[in-house]
Amino acid sequence: MLYHLCDYWYDHPGGPYAYKDALFRGTSAILLGFAVVWLLGPRVIRELRRRKIGDRPEFDHKALNDTTRDKKNTPTMGGLLVITAVFVCVMLLADLRNYYVLMGLFCMVWLTVLGGIDDWLKLTAGTRSGSRDGLKMYEKLLFQIGLGVLLGIFIYRYGQQNVVTLKGSVVEAYRILNVPFYKSGIVLGIPAFLIVTVLVTAGTSNAVNLTDGMDGLAAGCMALCSFVFMLLSFLGGDPERARSLLFPHIPDTAELSVLCGAMMGACLGFLWYNCHPAQVFMGDTGSLPLGGLIGYVAICTRQELMLLIVGGVFVIEAVSVILQVGYFKLSGGRRVFRVAPIHHHFHLAGWTETQTVTRFWLLAAIFAGIALATVKLR
């Protein structure tokens, strides 16, 4: 709303100009997102406690259950704080006429509802034959795949109507899959585009969800990942900067800097209450939409492969689970790690929770630095 108010002032003498810059508004969203979560946090946490929306961590590992028993009854579904902050920032600071912003909000609402249902089923154990697993994996995947297909179709069709002309020739950058370290990308048709969109949306959403297993781990890693994509969105959305960096220029995607800035600020604000010992947990209500949103931004900016570098910690967490489950089934009960996801493996190996989280944050920062370095290594 502030964007459109400034847009009105802009037509009058002495009107503000800074709001036109998406990176300025993205940076402002970091501060506003932090402030919203920080201010609302105590009230929301009290309300969650009053309603007895508390977590009861249960794992298929006795030692891990013993290690985490002190977390019992810590309020969960704190992701509502994060999503509220992102929504407020986008509504106030983003151009609400921008197609990519509107689709981002659609993606966020879809996955927030999905995560909220999953959390609620976990909290009301007994409604599904006593299971605390929430939604079954195939049920989650069904809705994540459905979202990926819808996003893929609408993003692709909008891209067809939003192509740019460069030196007399039409540039269909919306179809180019940017490849790190290479000057040219891979041109995708609609079937390949849909497959990539589904894989990125569902994969990133679930990877962040798996990472959300220790105090502050997912929020800290997401803050760093969001910062990198705030810069990538701005660079790819600006025709001159995109051309100089050999990025595919996708018109209107610079506005996604505001969305990424809002995610970063909200995650930093959430860390205020989620750092060890956590006063509130994010839950699937926060981790699923955050993962889906960062995947969505990567798709819109054609930086899906860059996401594998930026979100290196999320990739490691997801791969550790895949390896553990696959090897367990193939070997008849043997394990690669003590327990998966891999952060719990290191915790049981003797690292304290704070050491584990801090070291994973350092890894996330290193991956973010590598990703930014690749911008010039082409």
State how far the Cα of 40 lies from the Cα of 273, in Å rounded to an integer.
11
Average per-residue pLDDT in the chain? 88
Q: Give the tens place of pLDDT for each residue, 33-85.
A: 999 999 999 999 999 888 877 666 666 666 666 666 777 778 889 999 999 99
State how far the Cα of 25 lies from the Cα of 258, in Å rounded to an integer.
6
Place of tokens 């959305």: 237
- Tokens representing 54 are 């508390």
Report residue 54 CA to chain centroid gap: 24
Band of residue 370 on the pLDDT scale cut at 50, 70, 90: very high
> Rounded mean pLDDT of 77-97?
95
Burial of residue 277, with CB atoms counted within 10 A of its CB: 0-12 exposed, 13-18 middle, 19 or more buried:
exposed
Give the pLDDT confidence score for residue 4 in this predicted structure: 64
Instruction: Give the angle 367-260-179 at the CA atoms, nearest 5°.
Output: 50
Name the packing angle between helices 137-161 and 190-211 (round to 10°): 130
Q: Give the tens place of pLDDT for each residue, 212-253.
A: 989 999 999 999 999 999 999 999 999 899 888 888 889 999
Q: Give the tens place of pLDDT for each residue, 131-188.
A: 566 788 899 999 999 999 999 999 999 998 887 665 555 668 888 899 888 877 888 9
Q: What is the phi-psi region of residue 95: left when phi exceeds 0, alpha when psi lies from -120 to 50, beta otherwise? A: beta
